[in-house]
Amino acid sequence: MDIKQIGVIGAGQMGNGIAHVLAVAGYDVLLNDINQEALDRAVALVNKNLDRQVQREKLSAEDKAAAMARISTTKTLSDLGTCDLIIEAATERETVKEAIFQDLLPHLKPTTILTSNTSSISITRLASRTDRPEKFMGFHFMNPVPVMQLVELIRGIATDAETYQACLAVVEKIGKTAASAEDFPAFIVNRILMPMINEAVYTLYEGVGNVKSIDESMKLGANHPMGPLELADFIGLDTCLAIMNVLHDGLADTKYRPCPLLTKYVEAGWLGRKTGRGFYDYRGETPVPTR
């Protein structure tokens, strides 16, 4: 299948990054969001990030201008009906995603492939609520999208080979590497990463170490570029908790029980960098551990 126009639903942190890499690779991108301000911010951020690539001589000024010209925006979901492939990158809530697909279905071409950037929700279950489960799969980018090299491609139980190959071709064209994952809770990356973060929170909760010592131990002792608590703040503690709940509910194993301290931080609204406080306080010039 020849994919030329790609729709991206959601103009947040993930959506703008996805639009960025697709446009640079030569795809026409139609970015959708219910909020015009979010769309304007996303386009401005893509422009800024492309400028950075030009300054670093990773992209020519002509290529940057061409990429920006390939991105258009709309608040009207039905406008995405002309797209060959749609990547949903909305809020990580199943009810929200289902509602988006339901509203979209009447406007799609029969050949349109639907995908979700979900980090943990069942692809098989999402696909079953559409009219094309064989043309539905998981298309999970890592954050920040322009920098991270991996894309998880997740096949639902009904996903056909043609759909997988079409999505694989897109991943290769944007210069990233695909990891093929089966449809089990949290797939590969988050199945391994989130329990590590959760264990780091338990280590803090039980007083084994403080925030600084835990992060330094993993950075210097395991050569991780970021400590697990610093990484949790970067991802968002609400997202970490949501994925741990998916693992715990989906696999029914107590080893995935979310740490009560993680739950408490989320209840406090301390979600990490995006709210100014998490395991670190970001309101000053330099981040300060909160425990």
Annotated binding-site ranges for NAD(+): 10-15, 33, 92, 97, 119, 143, 274
Q: Please identify which residue in the block is written with the tokens 């386009």.
A: 43
Please tell me which residue in 20, 88, 120, 140 is annotated as part of the active site. 140
Give the whole-angstrom CA distance, residue 175 versus residue 191: 25
Binding residues: 10-15, 33, 92, 97, 119, 143, 274
Q: Is 119 a catalytic residue?
A: yes
Give the whole-angstrom CA distance, residue 260 versus residue 59: 46
Please tell me which residue in 32, 88, 122, 152 is annotated as part of the active site. 152
Q: Is 107 a catalytic residue?
A: no
Query: For residue 10, which amino acid is it?
Result: G
* Alpha-carbon distances, residue 49 vs 46, 70, 76, 174, 240 (angstroms): 5, 15, 26, 16, 26
Cβ(251)–Cβ(185) below 8 Å: yes
Q: Is residue 2 classed as helix, strand or coil in its secondary structure?
A: coil
* Alpha-carbon distances, residue 41 vs 67, 146, 155, 186, 236 (angstroms): 17, 17, 32, 29, 20
CA 199 distance to own-chain centroid: 22
Give the whole-angstrom CA distance, residue 170 versus residue 22: 9
Q: Write the secondary structure of 87-140 as one string of H (helix), E (strand) and C (coil).
A: EECCCCCHHHHHHHHHHHHHHCCCCCEEEECCCCCCHHHHHHCCCCHHHEEEEE
Give the whole-angstrom CA distance, residue 251 versus residue 243: 12
| Residues recognised as catalytic | 119, 140, 152, 190
